[in-house]
Amino acid sequence: MRAALSELKPSLIRQIHALKQPSSIDCSLGEPTLPIEPELWVRGLARYEREAKGYAPNLGLRELRDRIAKHHALPGRATGDNVIVTVGSEEALFLAFFTLLDMGDEVVIADPAYPAYAGLATMCGARAVRVPLRAPSYALCTDDVAAAVTDRTRLVVVSAPSNPFGRCDDQAELRALATLAGARGFYVLSDEIYKELYFGAAPPPSITQMSARTLLVSGLSKSCAMTGHRLGYLVAPAELVAAMWPVHQLTVTTTSTLAQQLAIEAFAEPRFLSAHREHYRRAWAQARAALDMYTIPYIEPEGAFYAMCPIVPEGVDAFDFCKRFLAAEDVVVVPGTAFGPGGARFVRLSFAGAEGDFVEATKRLAAFLTTSRSAS
Ligand SMILES: Cc1ncc(COP(=O)(O)O)c(C=O)c1O
């Protein structure tokens, strides 16, 4: 067996989720419970009925690649030749890491960050170097990244709104990072899977508009409630796309033709991409009201659908805390340590689930915290 694999385990998100009972309230996964927009579904199926149903070309249907390129309009990477359609954005992340990292190379990621970044680095025989996300912004600090960069740094990963904090990076910090990438010769991967789900007046700034040394990863899982369809994509310089093609072909051939036809319809009318934004704005308003009512502290997200709550007592392991909460109150939440040591004091609650679940989970969490405090 490959030596690097001995270091890989299923993420703590999946480990805690595996303990869920049929009766449990589930605030763990980032899994939308909304249906796909009915009009999008009807249009996608109609396209499927009238068009070819077999294998799509390796890199994706040409019409979809062109539409994705036009939608993002990245300077110097604005044609379909810059796009690979992938099996979820997870495969896009894999392609980027596998293509850019050699054994012993380094990738700089946030602490805490989406667990796949560190896992993929390990899988590629590379090393994830973590930079802390600090209060009050819990966003990228380019000085911290600069301090972490070495001659082995090939990639820096940013994401906004982020998972787990739902925070967005500052434009000036991203500009400084773009300059640093040019000076030190690394690429920046911008994971924009939650980009459509922002709560403020405007979308978060993207470093992909500021530098050509960037790769954009995204997909329709979260914005269009299409997790099961596995539709992701990557926009990158053409020479990287050319290098990724055989890797993508050898591992997955192509992604689902039906999913790609749905995606053509979604990109044809971007109102489909933003259709669920208001729903999550409202869901966060309700979630915040519940957290405030039960006086549970949280970091205010600027998008996505997670609340990070700093409630794990000093000296208590976050995974143990979540297991005890599940055993006592039958609610599944995610330990902050799933995202790195920087999450040790936090639990993450998803408010993407069924209406009412988050409020009930908050009520039970408050009861659990009261009982735990009086027992200690
Ligand atoms: C930050 C981030 N990136 C990527 C993904 C992968 O999403 P998918 O493979 O469904 O596109 C997720 C899923 O939770 C995520 O939170």
Question: Are residues 303 and 243 both part of a single domain?
Answer: no
**Counting atoms of ligand 1 from 1, which one is nearest the CA of 29?**
14
Query: Domain span at residue 211?
Result: 38-272
Q: What is the mean pLDDT of residues 105-131?
A: 97
What is the domain-level CATH number for residue 27? 3.90.1150.10
DSSP letters, 272-295, are GTSTTHHHHHHHHHHHHHHHHHTT
Do residues 116 and 249 share a domain? yes
What CA–CA distance (Å, rounded) separates 108 from 130?
Answer: 6
Contact 47, 264 (CB under 8 A): yes
What is the predicted pLDDT for the residue at 5?
85
Instruction: Give the pLDDT of residue 156.
Output: 98
User: How many domains is the chain built from?
Assistant: 2
Asked if 48 and 160 sit in the same domain, the reply is: yes
Mean pLDDT for 104-125 is 97
Last residue of a domain, one of 223, 241, 272: 272
Whole-structure pTM value: 0.96
Bridge pairing between strands 83-87 and 231-235? antiparallel
Residue carrying structure tokens 């400084």: 176
pLDDT value, residue 305: 96
168 and 104 within one domain: yes
Mutate to test the pocket of ligand 1, among 29, 68, 90, 260 (most ligand atoms within 8 A of CB): 90
371 Cα to the center of ligand 1, angstroms: 35
Over 90: is that where the pLDDT of 375 sits?
no
Mean per-residue pLDDT for 257-278? 97
Tokens 């500009």 belong to: 175
Tokens of 31: 């899994």
User: Are both 351 and 212 inside the same structural domain?
Assistant: no
Report whether pLDDT(257) > 80.
Answer: yes
Which residues contact ligand 1 via a Cβ below 6 A?
30, 88-90, 114, 159, 163, 191, 193, 219, 221, 227, 232
> Within 10 Å of residue 374's Cβ, how many Cβ atoms?
7
Specify whether the CB–CB gap between 339 and 164 falls below 8 A. Answer: yes
How far apart CA 247 and CA 244 sit, in angstroms, is 5
CA of 194, closest atom in ligand 1: 1
Asked whether residue 52 falls in the same domain as residue 27, the answer is no
Nearest CA to ligand 1 atom 16: 163
User: Whose CA is closest to atom 13 on ligand 1?
Assistant: 30
Q: List, for residues 139-165, the tens digit of each pLDDT value.
A: 999 999 999 999 999 999 999 999 999
The answer on 130 and 72 residing in a single domain is yes
Cα of 118 to ligand 1 centre, how many Å?
14
Q: How far apart are CA 7 and CA 252, in angstroms?
A: 24
Task: Provide the pLDDT for residue 330.
Answer: 97
Q: Which atom of ligand 1 is nearest to the CA of 163?
A: 1
pLDDT at 4: 80
Average pLDDT, the chain: 96
Q: Which atom of ligand 1 is nearest to the CA of 159?
A: 1
Give residue 327 CA to ligand 1 midpoint distance, Å: 28
Residue 162's CATH number: 3.40.640.10
Residues 289 and 143 in one domain: no
285 and 300 together in one domain:
yes
User: 130 — alpha (psi -120 to 50), left (phi > 0) or beta?
Assistant: beta
Ligand 1 centre to CA of 97 (Å) is: 15
Integer Cα distance of 82 and 90 in angstroms:
18
- Please tell me whether residues 173 and 99 are part of one structural domain: yes
Please write the tens of the pLDDT for every residue from 285-337. 999 999 999 999 999 999 999 999 999 999 999 999 999 999 999 999 999 99
18 and 80 share one domain: no
Q: How far, in Å, from the CA of 91 to the mean position of ligand 1?
A: 10
pLDDT of 355 > 90? The answer is no
Residue 30 CA: nearest ligand 1 atom is 14
- pLDDT tens digits for range 288-300: 999 999 999 999 9
**Which pLDDT band holds residue 370 (cuts at 50, 70, 90)?**
very high
Beta carbons within 8 Å of 222's beta carbon, 6+ residues apart: 30, 32, 193, 194, 196, 197, 304, 305
Residue found by looking up tokens 């040409």 in the block: 62
Which of 255, 272, 289 is a domain's end point? 272
122 pLDDT higher than 90: yes
Testing ligand 1's pocket by substitution, the residue of 28, 222, 334 carrying the most ligand atoms inside 8 A of its CB is: 222
Percentage of the residues of the chain whose pLDDT score is greater than 70: 100
Distance, in Å, from the CA atom of 192 to the CA atom of 281, rounded to the nearest integer, reads 18
Q: 341: exposed, middle or buried (C-beta count within 10 Å: 0-12, 13-18, 19+)?
A: exposed
CA 89 / ligand 1 centre spacing (Å): 6
pLDDT of the residue at 9: 87
Are 363 and 351 contained in the same domain? yes
Q: Is 165 helix (H, G, I), strand (E, B) or coil?
A: coil
Reported as a pLDDT band with limits 50, 70 and 90, residue 87 is: very high
> CA geometry: angle at 64 spanning 83 and 208, to 5°?
35
- Give the residue from 214, 241, 272 where a domain finishes: 272
Tell me the β-bridge partners of 349. Answer: 307
Q: Please report which confidence band the pLDDT of residue 7 belongs to, taking 50, 70 and 90 as the band edges.
A: confident
Place of tokens 């359609």: 85
**What pLDDT, on a 0 to 100 scale, did the predictor assign at position 182?**
97
Q: What percent of the chain has pLDDT over 90?
A: 93
The dihedral region occupied by 230, where left means phi > 0, alpha psi between -120 and 50, and beta the remainder, is: left
Please tell me the distance between residue 305's alpha carbon and the centre of ligand 1 in angstroms.
12
Q: How far apart are the C-alpha atoms of 29 and 139, rounded to whole Å?
A: 22
pLDDT at residue number 86? 98
Predicted confidence (pLDDT) per residue in 173-232, tens digit: 999 999 999 999 999 999 999 999 999 999 999 999 999 999 999 999 999 999 999 999
Position in ligand 1 atom list of the atom nearest CA 114: 1
pLDDT of residue 52: 85
